[in-house]
Amino acid sequence: MKHLADMRKSYEAGALDETLAAPEPLRQFQTWFDEAMAAKVPEPNAMTLATVSGEGRPSTRVVLIKDFDAHGFVWYTNYASRKGQELAQNPWAALQFHWVLQERVVRIEGRVEKTSAEASDLYYASRPLDSRLGAWASPQSQAISSRAVLVTNAAKAAVTHGLHPPRPPHWGGYRLIPDRFEFWQGRPSRLHDRLVYQLDDQGVWHRERLAP
């Protein structure tokens, strides 16, 4: 493990200063997201989603953000999956974006709710046909005997639904409504920049710097 322990990196790609950061977090996120897109960061829309079961056991997975605005951050999935079951038990979650090339991390915490059926229908209809059939084919997070189960299920879904499969009732969107953001910018000597935005009971965002 000596070689692994010796792996180090000097973070020198940028800085995060209170005088230049946006006064509210969504604007700051939009700026950083746009910069990640412009820099052609691989999969800038990929985020780690952390949930916690009713027994207090955490789990994480990578999902793709599909929308964000003043109402929250949206992704789509199988409601019967492990994350869906955990969100049903405990509707609080955390998101993390890691834009490696820019040495930036954004952490977002908040309460999660399902999107409307109309919003889920609209997004589902915009997906490629194979992806729509895949939503029918995969019993997400359940044990299956082999990949052939998925292939067979997809073929059955294609026969049953043809070119216009409806949205499965077990599939749709979630929205995380943030009450806390943290923006992390790597800096030399491990003296990283960390700005936290916290929402108070009156709906006002407060910003402060944290020690790295």
Catalytic residue numbers, as ranges:
190
DSSP assignment string, 20-55: TS-SSHHHHHHHHHHHHHHTT-SSTTEEEEEEE-TT
CA separation for the pair 174, 86 (Å, rounded): 13
Comparing CA positions, the residue from 56, 57, 74 lying closest to residue 65 is 74
SS3 content of the chain, % helix, strand, coil (to 5): 30, 35, 35
Comparing CA positions, the residue from 113, 67, 108, 69 lying closest to residue 198 is 108
CA separation for the pair 135, 132 (Å, rounded): 5
